[in-house]
Amino acid sequence: MKVKFTLTTAALAIGLTGSVAMAEGVDELDAGLVERLYNEEMLDPAQPIGASPLRDFVAENPPPWNIGYASSYAGNTWRADVMDELLNDIAPEWKELGLLGDVIVTESNLNDTVQIQQIRQLADQGVDAIIVCCSNPTALTQSVMYAHSKGIPVFSFTGYQSADVVLNSSVNFQVGGFAVGQAAAEELGGKGKVLVVEGVPGTSTSDSQDRGIKAGLTTGTEIEIVDTIAGQWTDQVAQGELQKWLATHPGQIDMIVGQSSMEMGLLRAVKQSGRDIPVSIGGELGALCTWRKNPDITQSAVQTWPPRDEIQLIWNLMMRTLQGQGPKVQSVMMEPVRLNYDQMAEYVPEDCDENSQNWLQVGADLWGGNLDQFFVNPADPRAFKP
């Protein structure tokens, strides 16, 4: 099910006071956007934000272009939604436009060595561009540079690559995590004991969100983080890890705050434990449905990475780059979306399915905002005529 979120989204006000990174390229962007998303206090210190080396890039071959998707994992609902959107919505549309030849998909199951080999193989096959997702920020550098040396640009979504030749796109995950932690602190009235559930430790996306969540929780002056466990961004794994943790920690826990893509598993674990512990909610429709039917389980949901919108966003950025529009910066940063109960209920019907494996889609245009500002020669990529 696709839910179009079009009416109630607003920029998340966090009240930042730190310095702003005004690197070349960033200084060409909207000042308000830069203040919110490129602020050094709320930016992963390793996030590449310099001028993009792809500013003058033009694809060597005319369309239709062949695109490689070097996926690192396929075992959760988020990845399934990405794949469905890519193969069943994006690919048919862009083939109809005459701009896409084929999409070649590889999957490494979180094995960096395998993904490195797959990227090199895609480059040797002569694809025109490569998309990577959620990967270790440094492990892929040599293979990314190999592709670049062959004139093949690489695009990373939902996390960044440290190689400066890559164009990255995602929400500012530290800002997104901060929003999750701040919402939890508000719900708890600024005090209580919290268990934090991170995703895949060592990935830029997980580490940035974890840093942000813990910073957001500190806005509650009497909040204690009692422990952190890893759920691997997978409901079944998170459910099992939380069940084990709760079984060995019978003491008071006032809230469980986790990264989205695990909330259904966390809710199930709490229910099976027989304990009454609130769980933070993100974008999984099954979890949003549980909230829809049980209004008291939380006060808000923070959507940090709608999968269908994210693949639409990086695809748009990639096509613009292949067309020679010239990206200004290495990282296109976006804002999280926070929903209260009434906003959520407007889009999630009362007869929803609590076992749904899909995600809330807020709309790629809304999520991506004004993408024109990120390019030197902006134009509608769908209207491109070689």
Q: What is the pLDDT of residues 142-158, one digit of tens each?
A: 999 999 999 999 999 98
Tokens 């769980």 found at: 279
Q: For residue 275, tell me if it sits in a domain.
A: yes
| Domain span including residue 210 | 173-303
pLDDT of residue 8: 34
Q: For residue 98, tell me if it sits in a domain.
A: no
- Other beta carbons within 10 angstroms of residue 6's beta carbon come to 11
Q: For residue 319, tell me if it sits in a domain.
A: no
pLDDT of residue 16: 45
Q: For residue 261, tell me if it sits in a domain.
A: yes
Please answer whether residues 272 and 245 qualify as being in contact, where contact means their C-beta atoms are separated by less than 8 angstroms: no
Low-confidence residues in the chain, pLDDT < 70 = 1-22
Tokens 């109809």 found at: 96
Number of domains observed in the structure of the chain: 1
Q: For residue 131, tell me if it sits in a domain.
A: no
pLDDT of residue 22: 61
Token pair belonging to 284: 């999984």
pLDDT of residue 62: 97
Q: What is the CATH number of the domain that holds 223?
A: 3.40.50.2300
pLDDT of residue 42: 86
State residue 256 phi and psi, 5-degree precision.
-110, 120
> Which regions of the chain does DSSP assign to beta strands (E)?
65-71, 100-107, 129-133, 154-157, 167-171, 191-198, 222-230, 255-258, 300-303, 331-334, 337-340
Q: For residue 253, tell me if it sits in a domain.
A: yes
pLDDT of residue 24: 83
Token pair belonging to 79: 């990845």
Token pair belonging to 39: 């602020």
pLDDT of residue 311: 96
Q: For residue 195, tell me if it sits in a domain.
A: yes
pLDDT of residue 347: 84
Q: For residue 50, tell me if it sits in a domain.
A: no
